[in-house]
Structure 1
């Protein structure tokens, strides 16, 4: 379509949109309704006067007829707010006008508008009752004037019925359009809520990943730095350079590993075009590295892993839970804690246990997000997790992770980036 065609068709399309908006809108909620109805009453009254003047001299209204005719158009101003009272007033004014055998067509515009308003704003039962009353009055008036005017009676009754049916059709059409709009708005709200939920879950997942990575790494670096500082301060004259060098090498290795995992996490977050949006997930094969990192921090770790394979989501959840449990043991269990990690399969589930012989977190300490994150990771694959002090001393973390969980992690677990 060229620009000339666009210029010639755009006004028509806009005018059509305005007309459809007027048709679809409930007349009771339209803006400036009273003002518009006042203008409509004046226009219809002018049309009624023209109809009355075009008839022969014998059928033109007299003074009383003109008064009744013009008065019949006045209630139209309030037709939107009070359709039934307006219809009643209209009947009271029109009935004597017809009985005086004035021009019957002059009041047709006012009658049709009043009937249409009742039909388009009311229930079908009310519309039927209005039709019966109006037709009864018309039949009575016409038979009182001239019992032989059957053709005129049929014509007037047809206009009344047609006007009422048109109003009912418009009412149902507006209800249909309103239902479509409501469904569309409801679907849009559902999409917005789903988008907000996904954003919240993604933020939670990112926060959990960063917590697992940084808390574990910072704890190990802190312990290794404390070892190096202790060696330097214990006996400066007999400095054990080999021990200090080993501690510094361990710190550097921990930093390199953390930097690599952080780079992987950031790359995943930047991959917006990938359908999966997630790199290889950590799994059960990474548990020996976690144990070795904890040993470098001074913990005495014993592992018993009898499960070789697990769904990716379950393996990732187990890896993160063990990582957080070892981090807490190194941080809170005291110097050189004895930690035991056990993973085995029983009744279609992966059972995980991490215990230590330390004292647990210090009373009154600032609560962290480690236990919350571990429970969320267990729930993300349909599992459960318990954590707390042991009766024999120390702290214990146990988890039950179903092995029939989906192989793709959920947004609450190792979700997509």
Structure 2
């Protein structure tokens, strides 16, 4: 147990030491207080060395003053390393020139040299080191001309502390670069997450708009049909027509409920399959859209010359056709003639919905009496989401046209053009 406690204490001490090394000395907390304590801590062994050393080199009053004064600037060594170095040299150089104990001020000198190297550039460090060595060698030559070993020892200590400071500086830069890259990576991940959330919200908004606008429009038309049958001739009430209109409304509600449940399940990210949950419709759902539009009174003619497409492209095409047919039913007048074409052209799925609406502007939602919606905007966004384009606008001969080109790459098609369904009038549908 005691060994575990000692190991944990050693780890914490090591972590604190590494944190102090990694920390930028110019932004470290409590740096002035810590440097003041450091100055006192170095002054104590310096005093002890001066007292316990050679009695012939023991400092006098001036020597003690210079020795202790040389430790005072260490309090501001991180904020102003060069002025502190100059102040220390101003005190220590006369101290050595008076031939006092030369080992006592070594701690203060080396600490300030390390600080200059750890906080400055390599060029500045080398210039400072050369200057300090020059002054030191000059003083040693004047006070101890025969001390060759002393010269080498002093030079070695100076060079060692300078290179130690340079090494720590580069290590701090390396750690800062790693931290900066980690911060940028985290910021990038957060931005990517926000972008994905925004895209998902936009996609859900489009799905809800397409689903609700289409379903509500069909329900409104079918309800109008039922109301017209009831009010036209009460004495000769066509119960079968009313029942069929109500059945169509119920079927539209069931379909809308299933698609709405699918969208909400995706929003909640539920992993279990529920009623009505399944893949969003693609090209195989276009006949259902056509059938719903015909029930609402539109005379729809279809020409589908593509068998399949990638799921994303198929879903985009389905939604574009759905929104276009919804606009036709809402804005193109009674029993409008519509042509829906889907074909493959040069590696792209071409979707075209053309109506011959009798109202000004055809099936243009922005030309309607009610407030402008998001139909055209949603269709363009769906086309762009798969790398395609969409054009929509009134036709010179009347009506409205929506054309989308959605790239699909290689799509398997039938050997010959296949028309899924072609119906021009109600009479032809009856046959």
What are the superposed Cα offsets for residues 70-104 of structure 1, whole Å, 9 maximum, x if unpaired?
11111111111100011111111111111110000
**Could you tell me whether the CA contact under 8 Å between 1:311 and 1:403 is conserved in 2?**
yes
Matches within 5 A, 1:4-403: 7-269=5-267, 279-358=278-357, 359=359, 360=363, 361=365, 362-363=367-368, 365-403=370-408
Indicate the SS of the match to 1:106. coil
1:283 positional shift: 2.1
In the TM superposition, what whole-angstrom CA distance separates every residue of 1:366-386 from its partner, at most 9, and x where no partner exists?
221211111111112221101
CA distance in 1, matches of 2:411, 2:385: 10
**Contact 2:347–2:411 (CA under 8 A) maintained in structure 1:** no
Secondary structure at the aligned position of 1:125 is classed as helix
Question: Could you tell me how far apart the structure 2 residues matched to 1:124 and 1:269 are?
Answer: 57
CA contact (8 A) 1:313 1:405 kept: no
SS in 1 for 2:320: helix
Q: 1:363 to 1:279 in 2, by over 3 A?
A: closer
SS at match of 2:104: helix
Structure 1, unaligned runs of 5 or more: 408-417
How far off is 1:302 after superposition? 1.0
CA-CA distance at 1:157 after TM superposition: 1.0
Q: Distance in 2 between matches of 1:316 and 1:229?
A: 34
Q: What per-residue deviation string (whole Å, max 9, x for no partner) do you get for residues 187-227 of structure 1?
A: 11111111111111111112212222111111100111111
Matches of 1:191 and 1:349, distance apart in 2: 33
CA distance in 2, matches of 1:7, 1:221: 75
Name the CA shift for 1:406/1:202 in 2 (closer, same or farther; >3 Å): farther
Q: For residues 89 and 170 of structure 2, what CA distance do their matches in structure 1 show?
A: 26
SS of residue in 2 equivalent to 1:105: coil
Query: Given that residues 350 and 403 in structure 1 are in contact (C-alpha distance below 8 angstroms), is that contact kept between their aligned partners in structure 2?
Result: yes
Count of residues in Structure 1 that have an aligned counterpart in Structure 2: 402
Query: TM-score, normalised on structure 1?
Result: 0.91
The alignment yields a C-alpha RMSD, in angstroms, of 2.1
- CA–CA distance in structure 2, aligned partners of residues 403 and 57 of structure 1: 95
Cα deviation code 1:292-317 (max 9, x no counterpart): 10011111111111222222222221
Q: In the TM superposition, what is the alpha-carbon distance from 1:267 to its structure 2 partner?
A: 4.4
State how far apart, in whole Å, the 1-side matches of 2:389 and 2:6 are: 68
Separation of aligned partners in 2, 1:135 and 1:100: 18
Structure 1 CA distance for aligned equivalents of residues 120 and 138 of structure 2: 25
Deviation at 1:264, TM superposition (A): 3.5
Q: Is the 8 A contact 2:331 2:368 kept in 1?
A: no
